[in-house]
Chains A and B, each alone.
Chain A
Amino acid sequence: MSVVDIESLSIHYLMRRGNIRAVDDVTLSVRKGETLGVVGESGCGKSTLGLALIRLIPYPGSVVGGRVLLDGTDLRSLPEKEMRQIRGKRIGFIFQDPMTSLNPVKKIGDHFIELIRTHEKRVDKAEALDRASRMLETLGILPERVNDYPHQFSGGMRQRVMIGLALALNPEFVIADEPTTSLDVIVEAQILELLKRLKEAFNITLMLITHNIGIIAQTADRVAVMYAGRLAELGPSLRLFADPLHPYTQALLSAVPNVAKPGRVLSWIPGAPPDLASPPPGCLYNPRCPHAFDRCPREVPRLVDVGEGRSVACFLHYKG
């Protein structure tokens, strides 16, 4: 049973050097209670995808096709007023950089109060503040700190606050965009532990967007691999890591070091990702793919179901 259905979503950025196809015909669903990891390198479109779900794509980007359904409601067709009610209440968003995502002149408590009272108008300040303090406690922060300002918090604590804000109204769906990228390793581990705990406590449905494959492996139930704006592979985490199907997934996994298995020779992918303003025909990974054959530059491979809940966009796995 899915909470979010993304159907053939395409997002383009209209820039001076051309039309950049940041996201191209992406279809996937997020099931209730699961953590879907969206992984890819810079420029693959994962962040744009996340922002599209809450309709916060920066100018000059725009959705040029497809639908986004939240529990059956088409988010694209909603007027902005209704979309605002959804942001924060039904969909929570955790931004990457806690330094700039919090208002430096507002107390932490006020951030929560504003959020709660915007969506639940009957709640009075005292009650909202009380909820905020309790949330801080859940996050591992002393509840008194509800009166502190963002600059008095460390990076890790600010990120905890961000998570708290995203979860404050118990949304159906939470999107986390590179939630730990700007944090130190140990704090990152703490935050991931926190997310795991909260996920179980609140039964969160989470879409985790990151380029860090280690995090994906440790937190995601299902994984979506993106390359150059398109979905390359989608499937349960265990299966995907044990037996990656798409050549890009294979190359990516063998390029990542594993401290538990030192001494392995790392590989890399020659070349560079395509220019999304003028992409080559056919499969976008074709120019760098060691298994490319004649069909690859001619046609765009569609995401095909290959059983076990897995799908791949690669002609190597087309049946017939």
Chain B
Amino acid sequence: MLLEVNDLKKYFPVQKSFLDRLLTAKEEFVRAVDGVSFSLERGEILGLVGESGSGKTTTGRLCIGLILPTSGNIIYDGVDLSVIKEEDMRRLRRRMQLIFQDPTAALNPRIRVGDAILDALRFQEIGTPTERRQRVEEILERVGLSPWSNFFDRYPHQLSGGQRQRVVFARALVLNPELVVADEPVAMVDVSVRAQILELMRALRKEYNLTYLYITHDLATAEYVCDRIAIMYLGKIFEIGGKEQVFRHPRHPYTLSLISAIPVPDPTAKLERLIPRGEIPSPINPPSGCRFHPRCPFAQEICAEEEPRLEEIEENHRVACYFPR
């Protein structure tokens, strides 16, 4: 097991105006992640799927130590990240990398693409300058920016969106990480090029023995590339299981509505639409009990009173619901 997350919580204090701070003593928190537990095996791709406010992005960043949890722990390859020193963390960072959503904002506009990748090796003090250069050339080829000589000296603004995203991948991979947290890696890439990036992810997994945490709101791409999927809502995991299980036999009402809400690119498809009313409530004051109960068409009294726990409903498939479908 590469990564184990136990009852992870991250609360952000709400920025209050000066006047509010004077008048109200109560501190309010955005409960971005509120008790999340899961494990990640080596070599698998786990999808964290959720809408805005679900906490998926925060969870991703917690897992690679970019932010510290409020409570709970993250155990990476046996090492508890909450008790680690900053220096050790910096070295541990080599083994876990982050792919960003916006490939343009993820690259320093004033540094050439090749140099940006070289930086990773320089900061981690790996190899000699010649060796580093070699490695960058190799990795550029490997992500499909071939021939590398065409791309090494270019600035980000001279590349297309898909190419920039591949540079982001190259930079993350040049350190030979074990874990890659990909935060919406194809959301800002053109539709016609997305599959290329997703296939690249899969190919690189085999070649470099990678493990991915794939964060997205797009269930369709998650289904395409993940082995397992976790459905998140307001800081909690509602359902987690193998891709087939979650997709073909979704059990949680939220998962059902999420899947049925996706507009299918087929005008003849007759789909059961299960669209809940209302919108996602604020993570500052989440609903009592099951967080979905105000919108759930199947909600009963107990759903408002007590929060359901993640329970195994079939092998390797867990749901947090009193009335799974």
Direct touch of chains A and B (CB < 8 A):
yes
A residues whose Cβ falls under 8 Å from a Cβ of B: 41-42, 154-157, 184-190, 192-193, 211-218, 237-238, 241-242, 251-253, 255-262, 266-270, 272-273
Once A41-B190, A186-B258 are accepted as A-B contacts, the answer to whether A257 and B263 lie under 8 Å apart by CB is no
Q: Give the Cβ gap from B242 to chain A, nearest Cβ, in Å.
A: 12
A215 lies within 8 A of B247 (CB): no
With A211-B191, A251-B192, A262-B247 already in contact, the answer to whether A217 and B162 are too (CB < 8 A) is no
Interface range for B: 35 or more
Query: CB-CB < 8 A to B134: which residues of A?
Result: none
Whether B51 pairs with A214 at a CB distance below 8 angstroms is no
CB-CB under 8 A for A262 and B261, given A41-B191, A41-B192, A272-B162: no
A267–B198 Cα distance when bound, in Å, is: 10
A-B contact pairs, 19 of them (CB 8 A): A41-B192, A42-B190, A157-B279, A184-B217, A185-B219, A186-B261, A189-B275, A211-B190, A214-B263, A216-B265, A252-B192, A253-B265, A255-B195, A257-B220, A257-B223, A258-B266, A259-B264, A260-B264, A272-B162
Chain A residues within an 8 Å CB radius of B217: 184-185
CB distance from A121 to the nearest CB of B (A): 37
Q: Is B161 an interface residue (CB 8 A)?
A: yes
> B196 contacts the other chain (Cβ, under 8 Å)?
yes
Chain B residues near A260: list those with CB within 8 A: 264, 266, 269, 271
Complex: A269 Cα to B192 Cα, angstroms: 6
Known: A186-B257, A257-B223, A259-B219. A213 touches B276 (CB 8 A): no
B163 CB within 8 Å of chain A: yes
Name A240's closest neighbour in chain B (CB-CB).
Answer: B267
Q: How far is the CA of A252 from the CA of B192 in the complex (A)?
A: 6
> Which residues of chain A have C-beta atoms less than 8 A from B24's C-beta?
none
Contact B262 A237 (CB under 8 A): no
* Closest Cβ neighbor of B188 among chain A residues: A42
Least CB distance from A247 to B in Å reads 12
Q: In the complex, what residues of B have CB within 8 A of residue A266's CB?
A: 194-195, 198-199, 224
Shortest Cβ gap from B158 to chain A (Å)? 11
**Nearest CB of chain A from residue B243's CB, rounded to whole Å:** 8
Cα distance, A269 to B191, chains bound together (Å): 9
Report whether B161 and A218 are in contact in the complex, using a CB–CB cutoff of 8 Å: no
A259 near B161 with CB under 8 A, answer: no
Determine the distance from Cα of A268 to Cα of B224 in the docked complex, in whole angstroms. 14
Beyond A185-B261, A241-B265, A272-B162: 18 further Cβ-contacts under 8 Å?
A: A42-B161, A185-B51, A185-B219, A185-B262, A189-B260, A189-B275, A193-B275, A214-B264, A256-B191, A256-B265, A257-B220, A257-B224, A260-B264, A260-B269, A262-B248, A266-B224, A268-B196, A272-B160
B259 contacts the other chain (CB 8 A): yes
Q: Is the interface of B mostly helix, strand, loop or mixed?
A: helix
Interface residues in B209-225 by Cβ distance below 8 A to A read 217, 219-221, 223-224
Q: In the bound complex, do residue B261 and residue A189 qualify as a contact, i.e. CB atoms below 8 Å apart?
A: yes
- Contact present for B266 and A192 (CB under 8 Å): no
Residue of B nearest to A236 (CB): B267
- Which A residues are CB-close (under 8 A) to B268? 238, 241-242
Cα A237 to Cα B266 in complex, Å, equals 9
Asked whether, in the complex, the Cβ of A252 is within 8 Å of the Cβ of B191, the reply is yes
Residues of B within 8 A of A215 (CB): 263
B157 shortest CB reach to chain A, Å: 11
CA distance A273 to B260 in the complex (A): 33
CB-CB < 8 A to B248: which residues of A? 262
B15 at the A interface (CB under 8 A): no
Alpha-carbon gap, A273 to B161, bound state (A):
11
B52 lies within 8 A of chain A by Cβ: yes
Q: What's the Cα separation between A52 and B217 when bound, in Å?
A: 32
| 3 smallest beta-carbon distances between A and B, as pairs | A214-B263, A266-B195, A189-B261
Given A189-B273, A272-B160, does the pair A255, B192 have CB atoms closer than 8 Å? yes
Chain A residues near B279: list those with CB within 8 A. 154-157, 184, 186-187
Indicate whether B193 reaches chain A with its CB closer than 8 angstroms: yes
Taking a contact as CB atoms under 8 Å apart, the answer to whether A184 and B280 are in contact is yes
- B214-240: CB near A (< 8 Å → 1, else 0) gives 000101110110000000000000000
Given the interface pairs A186-B51, A259-B259, the reply to whether A218 lies near B192 with Cβ below 8 Å is no
Which residues of chain A are within 8 angstroms of B258 by Cβ–Cβ distance? 185-186
Q: What is the CB-to-nearest-CB distance from B6 to chain A, in angstroms, rounded to a whole number?
A: 28
**Distance between A252 CB and nearest chain B CB, rounded to angstroms:** 6
Q: Which residues of B171-185 have CB atoms within 8 Å of chain A's CB atoms?
A: none
Is A184 a contact partner of B192 (Cβ separation < 8 A)?
A: no
